[in-house]
Amino acid sequence: MRLLSAALVLISTVALADESAAEISKKSREKGALNLVGLTAEMKLVTTGSDGKAKEQVLSSSSRTIGGKNHALARFSQPAGVSGVAVLTIAGEQGQGDDVSLYLPKLKRVRKVAKSDRGKAFMDTDFSYADIASNGSRDEDTKRLADDKVEGRDCYVLEGKGDDTSPYGPVKMFIDKETYVPMKVEYGDKNGKPYKLYKTLKLKKFKDRVLAAESVMENLQTQSKTQMTVLKLEDSTLGDEAFTERALERG
């Protein structure tokens, strides 16, 4: 009986840990590194290749909850070669991946980004389409590990993995306990080898929110990196209509 009781306690403890991990994962995804629901951010992306050469891009990004789903819109303004390019991301069901639409002004049309292309580079940066959308992972598959510290901040540590819509294998997340902003994320490829490393470099408070004002994604296999910096934050004036494919084409 004592052995059975111990086993039941262990099962209960594991179940609670799994539930806690799922809740932490959900909160982190909702608040995230850039909790832009109702906001518009002007951002700069600087990508530095293994040869040390850097290129800079500027975009605006906004997010809005419509019909219970998060809609995110990113539109590039600089340099001239990418000006007008826009990406619309609509949250999908858990484990299904998001719906991603890309507008290319040179072609004057919108195209869907196939799930098989989610691992490709987003606008020639070290972020992939999976990074700007959901990577298809499920909260219930996430496990909680021992807590740790990152840059002196107490963090929850979660371990999960991407599904078939994601370019990633194992993923280890270090999530700030106070803000639920991911402070560090270690990505493995489908073979389990180190692939990418994401780090939040600077936090910024905007009204009642805390966001990642500066962050970097490093590709450990190609030795390139992309730093993202929030230049300006303001309340969004965009309505529901702005988060549609039709609006992408209008600019």
How many angstroms separate the CA atoms of 185 and 174, rounded? 6
Question: CB burial class (10 A; 0-12, 13-18, 19+) of residue 223?
Answer: exposed
| pTM, full prediction | 0.85
Tens digits of per-residue pLDDT, 17-65? 444 788 888 788 776 566 688 899 999 999 999 999 999 999 999 999 9
Total domains in the chain come to 1
Expressed as residue numbers, the domain containing 206 is 2-250
Tens digits of per-residue pLDDT, 124-140? 999 998 887 654 455 66
Closest by CA to 181, choosing from 162, 195, 201, is 201
How many angstroms separate the CA atoms of 146 and 174, rounded? 10
How many angstroms separate the CA atoms of 15 and 173, rounded? 20
CATH number of 243's domain: 2.50.20.10
